[in-house]
Amino acid sequence: MPPFDENKEKKIILSAYSDLLRSCRSNTTVAERKQIRKAFEMAADAHKEMRRKSGEPYILHPLAVAKIVSKELGLGTTSIIAALLHDVVEDTDISLKDLEMEFGKTVAKIVDGLTKISEFSEQTVSKQAENFKKMLLTMADDVRVVLIKIADRLHNMRTLGSMAKEKQLKICSETSYVYAPLAHRLGLFNIKSELEDLSLKYTQPEIYKDIEMKLADSKKARDRFIRYVTDPVKKQLDQMGFSYQIKARMKSVYSIRQKIIKQNISFDQVYDIFAIRIILDAPIDTEKADCLRVYSLITDLYTPNPKRTRDWITVPKSNGYESIHTTVMTPKGRWVEVQIRSKRMDEVAEKGLAAHWKYKDTGAAAADRAFEDWLNKVRQVLEDPSPNALEFIDDFKTNLFAHDIFVFTPKGDLITMPQGTTALDFAFEIHTQIGMKCIGAKINHKLVPLSHVLHTGDQVEILTSNIQEPSYDWLNFVKTHRAKSNIKNFLKEKAQELSTRGHEKLLAILRQLKVEMDEHLLLFLQNRLGTTTTLEFYQKLSEGQITPEDIKKSIKQRGKNKKEISTKATENFEAFINSNKGVNDDLLVLDDTISRLEYRLASCCHPIPGDNIFGFIGTDYIEVHRVNCDHAPSLLAKFGYKVVKSKWGSSQEILFLVGIRVEGIDEIGIIQGITKVVTSDFKINMRSMKIFSHDGTFDGTIFLYAKDTSIINQIIRKLMQVKGVHHAERVDAEEM
């Protein structure tokens, strides 16, 4: 983008500032707007020499973030000021003390939480993970830190087109792995959907454009059907005297894509592309009863699917979301989802936490309690002193981004747990000591083991014993941070106790042998007796797994044949990559030059030439993944510093194993038609074919060797022309 002239830049900046003021005018006083102006002037001056990758003045970014904070999140003056200043400490000479003097401690603390960590004691620790952990530590005191960070990420995603491709992939991976789930947990449904859509747009642009085009093509037919369904509903609501609004909520492009993959269906088979939302203008004291009356009206007009009805008004989601959802069958034989909620519930669903604060003291106790419970779980995770940032991120995702289940105590108390948790997790949720002494559980009055996975509606009774204590295998199946943390702390204390005993036992044995204790001897015994750490060695000695006789034999052997123990330094593989730039290679290209390196094609996604790929640096090789690999977001988000830009070179001599799934009507000669396409038309060798026939239909998978994606796409198109074949697609890696 060419640079702007000075006058044009000033007009654009002032226009953006005016837009910000308009977005917050109704919610701010004259004095507050003066503070916002002061923050704008400080940020504009601090960033005056800076530009974004697009070439535009940098100040437009904090102005855009502040507008999102004000207009889309509905936050107040303090948040707007913090958003305007969120980059000044990191990128300019302004200090936190300067901010505190001008705008107070709260603004300074929020900006501090948004400022990235610049130095690290451990080079191997992921910077992304450390920065995220720091941000969440501040969130424990003030949730506005995370809300502003999500607004910052949203604007970065909206302007991602000016970034280099590898930077786009890294930012999209962080977004889909952490920020979209976090936005969802904070009740920011619209922002979560936009973040996911933008991630898909840049990681898989062809798929995104294809779905977007199909949505546009089907819009007129969709609008006609919505009118057909809603006209009878409007007539009944008017007769009942309700004040209401009816909207059609479109499913996001990302959600449609996920449904196509998960259910292995085509776009035309996604029946819930939209949902009809009925929003009642009802007072808080009657909103639940009014929503239930409208639900009754809907189910009188259309037949409901009992398996697809959810009441999140009686039991709200942990992010405060409240609504009744039901899926009904229309006279035209099509399913449609109907959502029923009040105006207050809709605002909470749209603006999440900000709206939750607005209605905090209005009597919506259930939703308020659900969110506070979740925030308390956040604080629990943050209280863990563990320095491992990557483990922290995994724990945070497992415990705080998972869907909820609702289970009951024997007395009928309702407990909310993350999906996938076990009876042992439940025991720790009730009380730490109950978890430590847990020996089993009764689920719905039936005896089950500790590892039994819980489901919504289960009634759980925990069985305990005073002689029970945690063991290492418990860590293999517990899911919640609370359970893991307590088990690890117990095992750590026990290991320390055993280690002390083992150390004393070793000293006693050495005294008998009249041998001096030193580090070289300890390292020798540790390696000789098959232990990897000193702690493990002492534990095994204390528990009798290593005997005094083992020690004596080892020392005797050492005396006969002394060997120098050394640890071979691991080669710096990253330096190896840089030193090999410029050497010709026929497959993998790194950093825009061709290098001959040892590489492996990842077994999780089976990339082939033509696929968009990246390289992940291992210990002594590069692992090549598809950009849309299921593991890509995790790898890129956690280990961005190990990812290298990659592309395919010429690969005429190389063939890759690929699977193609076919489905259709089981007609005579169908197998012959399929094999003819592969072996005769394309002259390609098949490794195997599995075809299953049932009730007049068939489905199966062909495994064949091909050199790139263009050939596979041609084969799929040709297979679709075979009489009887209704669907053909490349299979996911897990199925190969």
Phi-psi region of 569 (alpha: psi -120 to 50; beta: other; left: phi over 0): beta
Rounded Cα–Cα distance for residues 273 and 215 (Å): 9
Pairing of strands 335-342, 274-280: parallel
Q: What is the 3-state secondary structure (H, E, C) of 381-445?
A: HHHCCCCCHHHHHHHHHHHHCCCEEEEECCCCCEEEEECCCEHHHHHHHHCHHHHHCEEEEEECC
Can you tell me whether residue 563 is helix, strand or coil?
coil
Could you give the angle at the alpha carbon of 685 between the alpha carbons of 585 and 601, nearest 5°?
35
Q: What helix, strand, coil percent values describe the chain, rounded to 5?
A: 55, 15, 30
Contacts of 340 (CB under 8 A, 6+ apart): 278, 280, 291, 294, 295, 298, 323, 324, 325, 326
Residue 343 tokens, joined: 């105006």
Nearest residue to 110 via CA among 118, 119, 99, 101: 99
Contacts of 85 (CB under 8 A, 6+ apart): 39, 42, 43, 62, 94, 99, 103, 107, 111
Crossing angle for the helix pair 127-139 and 105-114, nearest 10 degrees? 150
Rounded Cα–Cα distance for residues 570 and 619 (Å): 8
Contacts of 572 (CB under 8 A, 6+ apart): none
Residue with tokens 């990812």: 643
Rounded Cα–Cα distance for residues 48 and 42 (Å): 10
Asked about 91 being catalytic, the answer comes back as yes
| Whether the Cβ atoms of residue 116 and residue 129 lie closer than 8 Å to each other | no
The DSSP symbol for 453 reads: B
Rounded Cα–Cα distance for residues 82 and 36 (Å): 9
Q: What is the 3-state secondary structure (H, E, C) of 615-664?
A: EEECCCCEEEEECCCCCHHHHHHHCHHHEEEEEECCCCCCCEEEEEEEEE
Taking only Cα atoms into account, the Rg of the chain, rounded to an integer number of angstroms, comes to 31
Residue with tokens 């969110």: 371
Asked about 49 being catalytic, the answer comes back as no
Residues 9, 19, 32, 91: which is the catalytic one?
91
Nearest residue to 291 via CA among 277, 305, 303: 277
Burial of 622 (0-12, 13-18, 19+ CB in 10 A): buried
The DSSP symbol for 613 reads: E
Pairing of strands 599-601, 438-443: unpaired
- The number of helix segments (H) and strand segments (E) in the chain equals 30, 21
Dihedral (Cα; 390, 395, 400, 401), 10-degree rounding: 60
Rounded Cα–Cα distance for residues 298 and 436 (Å): 49
Residues 41, 45, 90, 574: which is the catalytic one?
90
Rounded Cα–Cα distance for residues 662 and 675 (Å): 12
Q: Which residues are catalytic?
A: 90-91
